[in-house]
Structure 1
Amino acid sequence: MRELVLVIQSALLDIRKTEVNDLSFVLATETDLDNTPFIGQWTFEQHHETLTNADVAHLIIENKQGDIVGYAILTGLLDPNKAVCVKRIANKIKGQGYGKEAMKLIVTWIFENTDTHRVWLDVKDFNHRARYVYESVGFIFEGTLRDSYFNGVKFESLSVMSMLRREYKREELS
């Protein structure tokens, strides 16, 4: 497999590979009280391990002022079923359109730089804000994994959403 270029740019954002010195930001974003109800938390070691894993893209999202505003983790880059998972996307700065723009850029990068057939993710069923963003960039609700995630106190349900290459191409044309 050829080396994938992981610098993605738009008028609003730059997305690049995560470096070891970025992991303190990633961990702080994961444990931020505005994010913890909605995303999983990993240890430093778990994040660090992904930085050299060819099946994973660990990404930093920066605004044009050079501020790190979020991060994303993609898994399944080597999946024989050609399905890439947006394992995690989290923003430290909210309400600026960074999440939607980052998702657009990530989906475009995946379909334009890999032979991926399906991009998918799961989202906690009560995270309406994120689900709206995913739908607005073309993800389609597939179903609910009922009580599939134990948060340490109670079970939560996850909504599975995806976009197929043909749907991306249709969105791209409209």
Structure 2
Amino acid sequence: MNLRLRPTMLSDLDFVISVEQDQANLPFITPWERTQHEGAVRFPDFRHFIVETGAQYEPAGFVILQGCRNPHRSVELKRLVLLPEDQGHGLGRACVRLLALMAFRDLGAHRFWLDVKSLNERALALYRSEGFVEEGRLRESVRTAEGYDSLVVMSLLAHEHSALLHERGLGAA
């Protein structure tokens, strides 16, 4: 699979907003204002990327890491959003694997973590299959059109990631 993460430019933010506002994605995320994305593009504690795939590396979504300068070496996968037509083909898994490598190898993370809405069963299954462990739930912490949803906090530690890479025959990070 052709996949690359290209640093987001301010000129990409119309695309980012459109992916975030897509009706198929809205139930699973809490959209940001444009100024929040601008800050994430500019602030060194964040890494904001456009996901590009295919033969021509067409934009397929975006990802955000936060805590890249965290003194406790705890990096958050803040957002992973793909175009609906690019979902269900392994691109999300490829992104998670690439981001985990980036967090542990490039950013020196000890802990790579995220939160995900409990109704997002597909994402929960993906994260579990990639070695993330549920740490707890923030019960009914997010308003939805139907009421409230809980956030599931999950993480992957550096030694767990190394063991996963070893199992896959890829060596240590």
1:129 equivalent in alignment to 2:122 = yes
Structure 1 residue 151, shift from structure 2 partner: 3.6
The answer for the alignment partner of 1:66 in structure 2 is: 57
Distance 1:156 1:91 in 2: 21
Distance 1:48 1:153 in 2: 30
Q: CA-to-partner distance for each residue in 1:123-170, whole Å, 9 max, x for gaps?
A: 000101011111122111111110112247622101111000010011
Scaled by the length of structure 2, the TM-score of the pair is: 0.90
Match for residue 118 of structure 1 among 111, 115, 118: 111
Q: Tell me, what secondary structure is at the counterpart of 1:41? A: coil
1:173 equivalent in alignment to 2:146 = no
Q: Tell me, what secondary structure is at the counterpart of 1:51? A: helix
Distance 1:13 1:136 in 2: 20
Structure 1 residue 79, shift from structure 2 partner: 1.0
The answer for the alignment partner of 1:86 in structure 2 is: 77
The answer for the alignment partner of 2:35 in structure 1 is: 45
Q: CA-to-partner distance for each residue in 1:29-67, whole Å, 9 max, x for gaps?
A: 111011000011111111011111010001110003221
The answer for the alignment partner of 2:9 in structure 1 is: 19
Q: Does structure 1 retain, via aligned residues, the 8 Å contact 2:8–2:49? A: yes
Q: Does structure 1 retain, via aligned residues, the 8 Å contact 2:66–2:78? A: yes
Q: Tell me, what secondary structure is at the counterpart of 1:168? A: helix
Give 1:124's aligned amino acid.
K
Q: CA-to-partner distance for each residue in 1:74-94, whole Å, 9 max, x for gaps?
A: 100111111011111001021
Q: Which runs of 5+ in 1 are unaligned?
A: 1-10
Equivalences, count = 164
Q: Tell me, what secondary structure is at the counterpart of 1:37? A: helix
Q: Does structure 1 retain, via aligned residues, the 8 Å contact 2:3–2:57? A: no
Distance 1:138 1:17 in 2: 26
1:57 equivalent in alignment to 2:47 = yes
Distance 2:124 2:72 in 1: 25
Give 2:58's aligned amino acid.
D
Give 1:33's aligned amino acid.
Q
Structure 1 residue 12, shift from structure 2 partner: 2.5
Q: Tell me, what secondary structure is at the counterpart of 1:72? A: strand
1:77 equivalent in alignment to 2:68 = yes
Q: Tell me, what secondary structure is at the counterpart of 1:130? A: helix
The answer for the alignment partner of 1:154 in structure 2 is: 147
Which of structure 1's runs of 4+ aligned residues deviate more than 4 A? none
Scaled by the length of structure 1, the TM-score of the pair is: 0.90
Q: Does structure 1 retain, via aligned residues, the 8 Å contact 2:64–2:80? A: yes
> Which is helix-richer, 1 or 2?
2
